[in-house]
Structure 1
């Protein structure tokens, strides 16, 4: 993908609105507390350089904020990490597009990625996809099926099905799970927890209710191939629930026993074997049920020795 001169993107504008909790804070204090990836010195330099605006006007570091103030941070162009530059199409018509996302491709702009995202790849690939928006999310390291609404009808219908839990999703995962029962329901609550200067989602007793159905498809020594159906949709839910069940996904560098972080690797670090293998939805125009399947490349390396009963 051509990101512009010398491989740099065009920068990005981050927007937020000051809430009641942030009212009364200075511009500098608000950004230091809210965006902990950068310290006070870096934020002061950005504000002094005119890259932070309040209600469309250049901000001062000690300027006091009020609830409802509109903030903009104009990030300078930067060179993004390498990422896959293509995708396969599983289904497409005037209203809906379903693609197979490769692993290590972020869906939406965040962190070090702005132009090297699935959203930008899809929108640039064809004029009919210029307003396409994903109905759900896949982690950067997760591969597989993801649905986009191309029209207002497609976007609203898919969003409604996601809310009503009628957008069916099944994932395949290769796990360290010799002792898993044939099937079970994982229900560990999930919430945000500190992770270095950032926060991530992880299992926690005080978290939001979460539910994943898991079924063992095949066992091979100390590992198993499982099908996981997330009923709720918390970030990293399947990775968290499988780790909490004592069956972390092979190659997962982040989640360990209990469904909590086992290392300080950044969120989004890939290498784990998780694939969105089946997707079903009611078509927004015809009303027909659409069912799609996809097989991960890594499945060919999974031993065929014993199928679970």
Structure 2
């Protein structure tokens, strides 16, 4: 449960659950372009514009199908003629049809809430922000759908209030636990700056530069890893960067010498010799994508059941089906795409357990804790209900 430091303004009612069941289909997507006459020789017609500029989205017959299906507007008007000639500056909008997204949990637990921020306990399997195949089944959508208790109209911060809370950092889809969201613009800026400072400090420490400024936020995770760690504590400073990976358009984050600085402090909580596993606490001083998974794999101890990262912090390159090169297309005109999300983004055991931060407006220290899944509890925590988990 959440706990506030002595003297902190009492939070609003917390420790409740909210969430709306997902509709069967999402609302689809719209992609906007402006036609530039500089490319008129090759893209003067509507079909040429889309088939040349967005080859990875659909084959030529697929784009013709989309146009004749009324999925494209030019300057606000539906156009069904693929050979329509475009004019300089025309606004083009492609409307992607609605689709059913893969399963994702929809209930969220509120651990802490006040006029400035709210802390959620995110379940594993739920994406934070829209991306890829998940455009609606996200934490952000649930935050947008809920009616929130906001500061009274007489409060000076009222004009600073947003329509709904917004996440100020991310957790991987398969990672559970604490997620901070800002209710006001000021809180959003302040909290985001805390995370940015952590990344900057990680770089300074890697370069040997002393960091004298007191940290505004400290984040602690619980993880179950393969193998038995030899040392009780370890500090990992391996940089993290992007590489090409099948099925991930923007690339995959891995241990990479040319990547961005990252720092993780790993502490052993319990060695499970009979299972050849170790329960660890990880404090991160930066927040690179998949940082904990990569760093633990880098030192030879990948997360238990992690389907993506192996020893060394590199991905497991599975034999994936090659992209079809024929002209067949799906119901919406695009290439047949896998029904499952990005490979390897769930299945592991990682939980954002607790954090300590300086409140974004009062500057008082605040500690918030997210209850642990059973598999990530120590023997003592399982046996003693009084132990804070």
| Same-fold status (TM-score > 0.5) | yes
Residue 63 of structure 2: which of 41, 44, 50 is its match? 44
Q: Which residue of 2 aligns with 1:85?
A: 106
In 1, Cα distance between equivalents of 2:85 and 2:314: 39
Equivalent positions of 1:165-184 (< 5 A) are 165=198, 166-184=216-234
Q: Which residue of 2 aligns with 1:256?
A: 310
1:145–1:277 CA contact under 8 A, matched in 2: yes
Q: Which residue of 1 aligns with 2:342?
A: 266
In 1, Cα distance between equivalents of 2:267 and 2:144: 36
Name structure 2 gaps, 5 residues minimum. 1-19, 44-48, 151-162, 199-215, 319-340, 382-389
Residue 214 of structure 1: which of 266, 270, 275 is its match? 266
The change in CA–CA distance for 1:144 and 1:15 in structure 2 (over 3 A counts) is farther
Q: CA deviation at 1:176?
A: 0.7
The change in CA–CA distance for 1:212 and 1:11 in structure 2 (over 3 A counts) is same
Q: Does 1:275 align with 2:327?
A: no
Structure with more contact order per residue of length (Cα contacts < 8 Å, sep ≥ 6) = 2
Q: CA deviation at 1:275?
A: 0.2
The change in CA–CA distance for 1:72 and 1:155 in structure 2 (over 3 A counts) is farther
Name structure 1 gaps, 5 residues minimum. none
Q: Which residue of 2 aligns with 1:140?
A: 173
Q: Which residue of 2 aligns with 1:291?
A: 367
In 2, Cα distance between equivalents of 1:41 and 1:188: 44
The change in CA–CA distance for 1:194 and 1:57 in structure 2 (over 3 A counts) is farther
The change in CA–CA distance for 1:220 and 1:151 in structure 2 (over 3 A counts) is same
1:185–1:213 CA contact under 8 A, matched in 2: yes
Q: CA deviation at 1:213?
A: 1.5
Q: Which residue of 2 aligns with 1:200?
A: 252
Secondary structure of 1:258's match?
A: coil
TM-score when normalising by structure 1? 0.81
Equivalent positions of 1:108-127 (< 5 A) are 108-127=129-148
TM-score when normalising by structure 2? 0.66
Q: What RMSD over aligned residues (CA atoms) do the two structures have, in Å? A: 3.4
Equivalent positions of 1:153-172 (< 5 A) are 153-165=186-198, 166-172=216-222
Q: CA deviation at 1:226?
A: 1.0
2:50–2:63 CA contact under 8 A, matched in 1: no
Q: CA deviation at 1:126?
A: 2.0
2:229–2:278 CA contact under 8 A, matched in 1: no
Secondary structure of 2:164's match?
A: coil
Secondary structure of 1:164's match?
A: helix
In 1, Cα distance between equivalents of 2:62 and 2:361: 48
The change in CA–CA distance for 1:171 and 1:3 in structure 2 (over 3 A counts) is closer
1:28–1:40 CA contact under 8 A, matched in 2: yes
